[in-house]
A and B are shown apart, each in its own frame.
Chain A
């Protein structure tokens, strides 16, 4: 059974740029949730995708957007990067929308 994978591992961007982060869900899981974790904080919910549809969104601006593909992998896109976007971005997959969530290794984004 393949676990949750994310790419890239690390990323450095400058303010105003755009970034795309990728996630492959665990085998058999159809739900992907994205979280942002700032240093010293708990993960904050960005949004969730269930069967290719957005299924809930946290308190993040529209410049945070996402996609889920037919194979249930997912992308997180962030436009007009700001310094405060520097964080660990976590993808979690689950068998169902409300089920146990298993996290990938994360992508560390640094915005300069």
Chain B
């Protein structure tokens, strides 16, 4: 059974702080990893993807991948109240994505 695991949270951080979201995956065959943001009642929105070991930065977001540890993380710098949402980690399967249950992030003004 291919699995993606996330800490369900909730994770609360003050405005301006760094939020750190973590994810582990079970299938060593997964090639790419995605972070989606989902606001309550809305559909997932793609934030970033990563497929190489190391860091990938896009604005306030940094994705980190360690294939040896089967670990993916997302850092959000200078967190804003608008970042409050559920963050979903996904890993590729043969032709689909396996999702974790998501981590709920609350940024406190």
Residues of A within 8 A of B (CB): 33, 35, 40-45, 48, 50, 55-56, 58, 88, 90, 92, 97-98, 100-106
Contact = CB atoms under 8 A, between A and B. Distances in A.
Given A56-B94, A100-B34, A42 B43 contact: no
B2 to A, nearest CB: 10
Contacts of B98: 45
A10 B7 CA distance: 30
Interface size class of B (residues with CB under 8 A): 20 to 34
A45 B90 CA distance: 11
A101 B43 contact: no
B95 A48 contact: yes
A89 B6 CA distance: 22
A17 to B, nearest CB: 24
17 contacts: A42-B4, A42-B88, A42-B101, A42-B102, A43-B44, A43-B99, A45-B96, A45-B97, A55-B95, A56-B93, A56-B95, A92-B97, A97-B95, A103-B43, A103-B46, A105-B43, A106-B42
